[in-house]
Structure 1
């Protein structure tokens, strides 16, 4: 059950939510259009592969690295002059802080951003570079918001709820207007969903101008906050679980966003982490786009075959951001490769002599596999004979090639071979969840 808490204010009151209006979005678009990029919409290279005419809205090309600047800029421009002079406080899980720091620096508005302690160092450094004062506080966004509101009250600053303020949501809607201008034959839009602001703004525009276009929301299965809220028919709160789509992993839905989008959303989807990783990998390898986990969720839904009804339809996937740090990106890429059977991890015991070790490596090489990394544990023994345990990660061509490696190693070492990650099935659909909104 959702409870009113300290991060709510008169603009984001769960007991009195504000419905975002189309006219507000039009006004916001005219206000911010000179200062934000009209990001390209490009056709996917893999349309034939999926049987869907996929197009990508490249919001990661915005200067701060995500769509968040659209809403931030609108909110900043609507501040009275005296409030601008005093400054703004905002709590963020990363992307809002980057957008606020960037645009406020252009407008000479003092900024304090409150970040949870789990935020990647790269995002913290970028906020500093843009000139913001950064305070690390709280283990999650909800705790950071509580601190930000208290600080704003104490210092006389303006607190802006970066995920649910009506001015923020109105700015987000500018993206939907651009999409409809560029893609007149649109059949469906797939939108990443965290607290629901982007989905609310997008649906408001699309259902006003072209009601036949389907609006699908998608979020990670590990943090189904919005999905569960729709299931419960009221906003709910969930404990935070870390996952690859950190930008849309939130404890609570936005009260304004939820009230706005609930009657407009056609379907809500959940995707597993493996499919988010596959989507990130696909975008990097096939499209040459570096996209964060949240931005890859729409493609993950398509790759997981959650939207078969969109075959032969014109679909826009919103790639909402690209602010992923190098360590997490590397982890996601390896997870994606492992999920596709292109990285195979196993361990095997061999006698501790050069001939036995050479035989194992020759067996791997003869099958056309490349050793990605390996580690030798010399202290492992079995009975009276001394063995070493070889821990190996191999590159394979795909699932079938990985299966053949598994069979080969297990035949040669039936007693000591153990495969630690086994994506060894040919099920190409995602065992995820959908909710059709009625």
Structure 2
């Protein structure tokens, strides 16, 4: 059987990968520049906190909320007129579809988007709002892509791989051109990595114009697909492990992206989920930016102290997107507060009478703590005395203050208190732990 009749994408062929050229990016810039926001590169308000000259590329300010529309617009401009009239099919985890639908609506190009069932409802609704037809199919992006290719063959439409199509990747590279225009003094760029298209595009441009600039890829350690591919010297597939950086949580990487980025990337870094949520919290509180987990991975590498060699250097962190639904955003910010010891969850047994309950709450108030949430289980009993179990989330001033809360509660209720979040569930916890996470 001919490969043309199989489940095959000629633009993303593992046997014949298409390496991105600098000229491809320059062509994409010419096509897209009038229609894409040249987002600011802004100095961080908190550079002294990290000892690094941090600058943020604010890609969440794009109209669709992420950098993905750079690639989407470029691939749409390359489509022949007859294919534009018929329409396109793509599969997406959200951002690439939103960017594609936004610009396709302006160009009157019909779009069918296949999305996995795990995707947030608000991202589906945004694609609907731009006039696209949304099909929910598959448990993950790989299954959704397979269905989208079949749909394109059956209907005679153009299938676009929203993460690895050569024109998509070329569009991403326009971001690097903008950075080098306004920051010729940059020393390093930190790039969130999923399938690898953005890292490949950034490295292609930066290493062409200024080879001395370091390009680091950053990926969540729960899903190190690109990292493992570089380690194994070939693209690999990994089981799906969900995490807060859902936009770059992929089981497979792009073949074009891999072969382009492999000789150009200086380093790949893996970040913990707590670092990502702390980065989101930091950006929200100190910079007033709402950034999704994937977009915050670049700053997470700095928070996790993975780049000590960049001290006193000028570093650009790509904040690639801000399309975080409200439910996930609240969870991530609270996770970040917990990771910094500013939210502490514990359970404690208190005698079930008004005086004992008043003593408990007064103890918390006297220490300067604020009860963020609490739940009272009236049916909990232990031995001959009747206790009520309080499940409490307390707001503290920081890790040292939180550890003092732990000591206070354990002293007052030595037999019934249980602290649930790290490191407070460890009896050996002492103030020296503070030094280990900063």
Q: TM-score range by the shorter chain?
A: over 0.9
Structure 1 counterpart of 2:56: 56
Q: Deviations over 1:53-103 (max 9, x none)?
A: 000000000001100000000000000000000000000000011011101
Structure 2 counterpart of 1:312: 312
SS at match of 1:317: strand
Structure 2 counterpart of 1:403: 403
Distance 1:356 1:134 in 2: 56
Distance 2:384 2:197 in 1: 65
How far apart are residue 228 of structure 1 and its match?
0.4
**Distance 1:188-1:402 versus aligned 2 partners, 3 A rule:** same
SS at match of 1:381: coil
Structure 1 counterpart of 2:429: none
Q: So what's the TM-score if we normalise by structure 1?
A: 0.96
Structure 1 counterpart of 2:285: 285
Q: Is 1:114 aligned to 2:114, yes or no? A: yes
Structure 2 counterpart of 1:416: 416
Q: Deviations over 1:226-269 (max 9, x none)?
A: 00001101000011111000000111110000000000000000
Structure 1 counterpart of 2:214: 214
SS at match of 1:143: helix
Structure 1 counterpart of 2:427: none
Unaligned runs of 5+ in 1: 1-5, 431-438
Structure 2 counterpart of 1:91: 91
Distance 1:166 1:132 in 2: 23
Structure 2 counterpart of 1:224: 224
Distance 1:35 1:7 in 2: 34
How far apart are residue 218 of structure 1 and its match?
0.2
Runs (4+) of structure 1 exceeding 3 A deviation are: 427-430
Quote the RMSD (CA, aligned, Å): 1.1
Superposed counterparts of 1:319-330, under 5 Å? 319-330=319-330
Distance 1:46 1:238 in 2: 37
Q: Deviations over 1:353-411 (max 9, x none)?
A: 00000000000000000000100000011112111001100000000000000000000
Q: So what's the TM-score if we normalise by structure 2?
A: 0.96
Superposed counterparts of 1:15-414, under 5 Å? 15-414=15-414
Unaligned runs of 5+ in 2: 1-5, 425-432
Distance 1:106 1:428 in 2: 51
Q: Is the 8 A contact 1:189 1:214 kept in 2?
A: yes
Distance 1:338 1:105 in 2: 42
Q: How many residues align?
A: 426
How far apart are residue 422 of structure 1 and its match?
2.6
**Distance 1:308-1:71 versus aligned 2 partners, 3 A rule:** same
Distance 1:216 1:407 in 2: 41
Q: Is the 8 A contact 1:7 1:142 kept in 2?
A: no
Q: Is the 8 A contact 1:115 1:136 kept in 2?
A: yes
Distance 1:172 1:326 in 2: 27
